[in-house]
Amino acid sequence: MKIVLAGAGAFGQKHLDALQQIGGIEVVSVVGREPGATRAVAARYGIPHATTSLTEALAQPGVAAAILCTPTQLHAVQAIECLQAGKHVQVEIPLADSWADSVAVAGLQKETGLVCMVGHTRRFNPSHQWIHQRIASGEIRIQQMDVQTYFFRRTNMNALGQPRSWTDHLLWHHAAHTVDLFQYQTGEPIVKANALQGPRHPTLGIAMDMSIQLKSVAGAICTLSLSFNNEGPLGTFFRYICDNGTYIARYDDLVNGKEEKIDVSRVDVSINGIELQDREFFAAIRERREPNASVAQVLPCYRTLHDLEQQLNVGN
């Protein structure tokens, strides 16, 4: 299957690393903002074509699908371009930074029938899969999720420590992971959501600290704390407080409430959540089915983010 990858930065390269572990996939073009840097990434991964134009990449012979790892503000418009070009598309999280754009992508996917998947990686991390399987079997039920998403980003840098051309967002990007995961793991809609945010950064123009509360239909709750001001430890840490045990997920690692390690190495074919996410995308295309984390499945998450944004706008 011939594909293109747009976004040659830190996260795009994580996908390129993952794609090397998946058979039957050929990346024929990579798209980036800076020509020189994009050509360097193409050379490193043996990709024959490099460009600054998504349109040019999609026009390469035989292209069936695209993976978008571009700045958040481009996700919706580029996903729409891919679908209009007749290409399946995986959009890295978040799908969009507005409810209207999220609905527009979902509507076009329904119209075209093409696979449109969103990179909600937590659904695929073996640690969270382990929890999901036990919820599905009736072994455990979530009472509360307590989640911390902490970074130190007082300057506009990416995960490689390089200057970023766009501004990240705690609500539309980082909160999206947990809002979706809470709905996915409980299997229930969110019926109540509250948010508070701290002061906006004087130059970045975004809130650097945020607190979110969620409640599901059956009464499970989620408390999410997010910060770009935290000096460590960095990352996202999930505490699942269940009716039958407590579990703490730190990316692909899982321990119980006593910090005893749980082996998740046999949950799936890999412990790399990005690789598993990509495998699902290609399997859905080949099997002509809806993927896990399809745009339709994650759309309720973006409705909740929209409602939270409205609260925050009124509060400020």
CATH of the domain at 56: 3.40.50.720
| Domain co-membership, 94 together with 188 | no
DSSP string, the chain: -EEEEE--SHHHHHHHHHHTTSTT-EEEEEE-SSHHHHHHHHHHHT-S-EES-HHHHHTSTTEEEEEE-S-GGGHHHHHHHHHHTT-EEEEESPS-SSHHHHHHHHHHHHHH---EEEE-GGGTSHHHHHHHHHHHTTS--EEEEEEEEE-B-SS-B-TTS-B-SS---IIIIIIHHHHHHHHHHHTS-EEEEEEEE-PBPTTT-SBSEEEEEEEETTS-EEEEEEESB--SS-EEEEEEEETTEEEEEETTEEEETT--B---TTSSS-S-HHHHHHHHHHHHHHHTSPPTTBHHHHHHHHHHHHHHHHHHHHH-
| Domain co-membership, 50 together with 69 | yes
| Domain co-membership, 102 together with 134 | no
| Domain co-membership, 211 together with 110 | no
| Domain co-membership, 130 together with 252 | yes
Kindly state whether residue 183 falls inside one of the protein's structural domains. yes
| Domain co-membership, 184 together with 242 | yes
- Per-10-residue mean pLDDT, the chain, length 316: 95 96 97 96 98 98 98 96 98 97 98 98 97 98 97 67 68 96 98 95 86 98 95 91 97 94 97 97 98 98 97 80
Kindly state whether residue 264 falls inside one of the protein's structural domains. no
Kindly state whether residue 158 falls inside one of the protein's structural domains. yes
d(CA 215, CA 221): 4
d(CA 143, CA 123): 19
Select from 159, 7, 171 the least CA-distant residue to 89.
7
Backbone angles phi, psi at 256, to 5 degrees: -90, -175
Confidence at residue 99, expressed as pLDDT on a 0 to 100 scale: 98
| Domain co-membership, 241 together with 172 | yes
Confidence at residue 163, expressed as pLDDT on a 0 to 100 scale: 64
Confidence at residue 42, expressed as pLDDT on a 0 to 100 scale: 98
Residue 60 amino acid letter: Q
| Domain co-membership, 143 together with 20 | no
| Domain co-membership, 11 together with 83 | yes
Select from 27, 73, 80 the least CA-distant residue to 55.
80
d(CA 103, CA 306): 11
Number of structural domains (the chain) is 2
Other CB atoms within 10 A of residue 28 CB: 17
| Domain co-membership, 279 together with 234 | no
Kindly state whether residue 265 falls inside one of the protein's structural domains. no
CA 158 from chain center: how many Å? 16
| Domain co-membership, 209 together with 195 | yes
Kindly state whether residue 179 falls inside one of the protein's structural domains. yes
CA 134 from chain center: how many Å? 23
Kindly state whether residue 313 falls inside one of the protein's structural domains. no
Give residue-wise pLDDT tens across range 127-186: 999 999 999 999 999 999 999 999 887 666 655 566 656 567 899 999 999 999 999 999
Kindly state whether residue 315 falls inside one of the protein's structural domains. no
| Domain co-membership, 134 together with 247 | yes
Kindly state whether residue 303 falls inside one of the protein's structural domains. no
What residue numbers bound the domain in which 206 lies?
Answer: 125-258
